[in-house]
Structure 1
Amino acid sequence: MIRELSPELAKVAKNELNENPKQTPDDIKYLKEWISKQPHLKARTDDQWLVAMLRGCKFSLERVKTKLDLFYTLRTTAPEVTLRLKPTEAEFVNFLKLGTCIILPKAKTGLHPRVILIRAGRYDPEKNSVADMMCILYYLVQIMVIEDDAASVLGTKIFVDYNGVTMNHVVQGTPSLLRKIIAVTQDSLPLRLKGSHHLNVPSGIEVIFKLISTVVNEKAKQRLKVHKSVDELFEIIPKDVIPIEYGGTGGTVTEIIEYWVRKITEYKSWMEAEQELGTDESKRPGKRLTSDEIGDQGSFRQLDID
């Protein structure tokens, strides 16, 4: 069953994503049939998941097929990014509780993209990796786009707080790992990234921005903003979304973390089934792919910020 959008959200979906509610059931049926005919592909076919994929590709069926294939291919070929921490195990929840990556609450009024808060400085680089943080993002985003139509229609913004980040964190981001993270988070997940906002950026971190600038398009560069104070964020992100610790009214970080811990618990059976999905590259028609080859292919070289 596909949820009906509010009139306001439906208007955005139509104008920006080419969504036609009368056509969507046929699109979903087509995708389910296509998935069933792919000998190498074991993919989820829930209606809301496929709707999120359709919205992420502006209802281009060919783009959806490419994204779906990539999503499950990376599940198999890049487990260091997608399965390093498994959402059904205690280690995942324990790392989630550090608050390195959380999705902030929905805005109480108006139509606004969802906001993902990244705080890499919260983890010990001697014990964990940036890839662990990406695992958290990977699974929380799946829950978000299934449950929240506003997220799949309006997109997301990234809010990065560099407080506590050291060079030991930075050096974990090798070119090979970053390429895989980009392929997973930006090219395979059904996200419409509406910009990234960076706070408490320490000196010496410029190397990260230089690296990012080599893989993002011009629109992405324009939407990458470094802020001198949290007050500047209030001009871009509603105050009722931002946590109390940052001067907002969106609840405490601890409360937001607890919400997502409950969600992961609620989705345990869903996640158990999710971990069984992926691809069997020995059955793929044509050339077998590896994660390194995927990261080097044309459209996956450059982030596409919508």
Structure 2
Amino acid sequence: MPANTTYECTLTPESLEVAKRELNEDPETRLQKVQELRELFKTRADIKFRSDDEFLLRFLRNKKFNIDKAFKMMVHHYKVRRDYPKLFNNFKPSAVKYYLDEHTQMVCPGKDKLGRTVVLGRVGKMNPDTFDFHDALKSMLMMMEILLLDENIQVNGVVHVVDHSGMTRKHLRFGTPMTMKMMVDVFESATPIRSKAAHYIRQPDIFEIMFSVMRPLLSEKMKKRLHFHGDEFGTLHEHVPSAILPSEFGGQLEKFDNSEYIKKILAAEDYFIENSQYGFLNVSQLSPNTNTNLNTTWLK
């Protein structure tokens, strides 16, 4: 599997310094590491891997250029796509356009003080009588996929701010142990996005009921990155500048508007369709000599 020789690094000088300091990235050996990762694909003949340099670098950066850990994450990336068919079948923007049009998510127009991308969410805009929980997760994952096309976001990571005003007891039916496990499994263990912090605001009393299901599933590292602000915007703004937040988040922007980013997601229909061709092979696609039990230690 030859390297993609058309790769050109698009990291800014600032991001490159972060990549060197935090992720062990060396421009001189970057593509050599990519090729070493690509060579491991031969050990899993039961998986069709996407193999271009840009895609592989996402996983290497997420795992600080530890090749074995990056490969393990790649295998798990495809494993969740096989194990959660309701989430990943028909995984394309047109299938969730109705949900995207609700504007429950927004990518802020600027960065935080550490150069990280800030993503907002509004739980109250998720009508529990009409929206499908899997479609909500699909749209969130698609946003992460689009963000990951930017190498600078791969390196610097994202910060999440979630507004829980408007959350009702009806929303609790989506917070089952099974759905929370799926969400953590997909976002924390299988998606190579660096989630640097999560801020929760305006949480009602019932928030703790749902979060008590999720908390034990999170890694200790992620637990330390959680911040709970309630109705206090001042403490939120110590982390996320008010200049890049809409007014309902106590910010200086006039309104919550993600129309431009939704256009980006909808325009990437072919990209998501192409991505869906990769993953675990069906039995009919396997070579007669393929041992599907090979290297199961990668999944442990």
TM interval, short-chain normalised? 0.7 to 0.9
* Gapped regions of structure 2 (runs ≥ 5): 1-6
Deviations 1:18-55 (A, max 9, x none): 11111111122233333366322123223222111111
Cα distance, 1:88–1:196 mapped onto 2, change above 3 Å: closer
CA drift at 1:62: 0.6
Distance in 2 between residues matched to 1:58 and 1:34, nearest whole Å: 17
CA drift at 1:214: 1.4
Shifted more, 128-137 versus 49-58: the winner is: 128-137
1:7 equivalent in structure 2:
13
Of 73, 86, 93, the match for 1:67: 73
How many residues are aligned here?
286
CA drift at 1:273: 0.6
Distance in 2 between residues matched to 1:203 and 1:170, nearest whole Å: 12
Distance in 2 between residues matched to 1:19 and 1:250, nearest whole Å: 36
Of 92, 108, 127, the match for 1:87: 92
- Is this contact kept in 2: 1:40–1:280, CA < 8 A? yes
Shifted more, 182-191 versus 118-127: the winner is: 118-127
TM-score, length-normalised on structure 2? 0.86
CA drift at 1:68: 0.8
Determine helix, strand or coil for the equivalent of 2:118. Answer: strand
1:50 equivalent in structure 2:
56
Distance in 2 between residues matched to 1:218 and 1:184, nearest whole Å: 17
CA drift at 1:182: 0.9
Larger Rg: 2
Of 225, 229, 232, the match for 2:232: 229
- Is this contact kept in 2: 1:130–1:169, CA < 8 A? no
RMSD, matched Cα: 2.5
TM-score, length-normalised on structure 1? 0.84
1:132 equivalent in structure 2:
135
Determine helix, strand or coil for the equivalent of 2:174. Answer: coil
1:78 and 2:84 matched: yes
Structure 2 matches for 1:114-133, cutoff 5 A? 114-133=117-136
Distance in 2 between residues matched to 1:200 and 1:82, nearest whole Å: 31
CA drift at 1:139: 1.2
Distance in 2 between residues matched to 1:35 and 1:213, nearest whole Å: 34
- Is this contact kept in 1: 2:164–2:200, CA < 8 A? yes
The residue type paired with residue 27 of structure 1 is K
Of 173, 177, 182, the match for 1:171: 173
2:197 equivalent in structure 1:
195
CA drift at 1:287: 7.3
- Is this contact kept in 2: 1:104–1:241, CA < 8 A? yes
Over the matched positions of the two proteins, sequence identity in percent amounts to 24
CA drift at 1:250: 5.2
1:301 equivalent in structure 2:
none
1:155 equivalent in structure 2:
157
Deviations 1:88-130 (A, max 9, x none): 42x41221111223333342x8532222222222122122233
Shifted more, 278-287 versus 132-141: the winner is: 278-287
CA drift at 1:71: 0.8
Cα distance, 1:275–1:178 mapped onto 2, change above 3 Å: same
CA drift at 1:220: 3.0
2:101 equivalent in structure 1:
97
